[in-house]
Amino acid sequence: MKTFPILETNRLVLRNIEKNDAKSVLKYLSDVEVMKYYGLEPYQTVEDVLEEISWYQSILNENTGIRWGITLKGENELIGSCGFLNIVVQHYRTDIGFELSKDYWGKGIASEALEAVTKYGFEQMNLQRIQALIEPPNIRSQKLVEKQGFLKEGLLRKYEYTCGKFDDLYMYSLLKEDCEF
Question: What is the 8-class DSSP label of residue 5?
Answer: P
Q: Are 22 and 46 in contact (CB under 8 A)?
A: yes
| pLDDT at residue 67 in the model | 98
* pLDDT at residue 2, as a whole number: 67
Domain count, the chain: 1
Rounded mean pLDDT, 98-106: 96
To which H or E segment does residue 131 belong?
strand 129-134
The pLDDT of 91-115, averaged and rounded, is 97
**d(C-alpha 61, C-alpha 69), whole Å:** 17
* Portion of the chain with pLDDT greater than 90, in percent: 91
Strands 93-100 and 129-134: parallel
Give percent of the chain above pLDDT 70.
98
Sign of CA dihedral 161, 29, 115, 86: negative
- Domain-embedded: residue 115: yes
Task: Give me the numbers of helices (H) and strands (E) for the chain, helices first please.
Answer: 5, 8
Q: What separation, in Å, do the N-terminal and C-terminal C-alpha atoms of the chain show? A: 23
Digit-coded pLDDT (tens) for 13-56: 999 999 999 999 999 999 999 988 887 889 999 999 999 999 99
Mean pLDDT taken over the chain = 95
> Does pLDDT of 1 surpass 60?
no
Nearest to 25 by CA among 62, 63, 71: 71
Contacts of 99 (CB under 8 A, 6+ apart): 28, 29, 34, 35, 38, 80, 81
Q: Which helix (DSSP H) or strand (DSSP E) does residue 151 occupy?
A: strand 151-162
- Is the residue at 100 inside a domain? yes
Check residue 37 and give its pLDDT.
86
CA distance 12 to 133: 25
Residue 2 belongs to some domain of the structure: no
User: What is the pLDDT, as a whole number, of residue 180?
Assistant: 75
> Is residue 170, in this structure, part of any structural domain at all?
no
Q: Is residue 118 part of a domain?
A: yes
pLDDT tens track for 106-147: 999 999 999 999 999 999 999 999 999 999 999 999 999 999
Residue 155 within a domain? no
**Within a domain: residue 135?**
no
152 pLDDT higher than 60: yes
Q: What range defines the domain where residue 87 resides?
A: 7-128
- What is the predicted pLDDT for the residue at 34? 92
For residue 119, the surrounding DSSP H or E stretch is: helix 109-123
DSSP category for residue 22 = H
Answer whether residue 36 is part of any domain.
yes
Over residues 163-170, mean pLDDT:
92
Q: What is the CATH number of the domain that holds 31?
A: 3.40.630.30
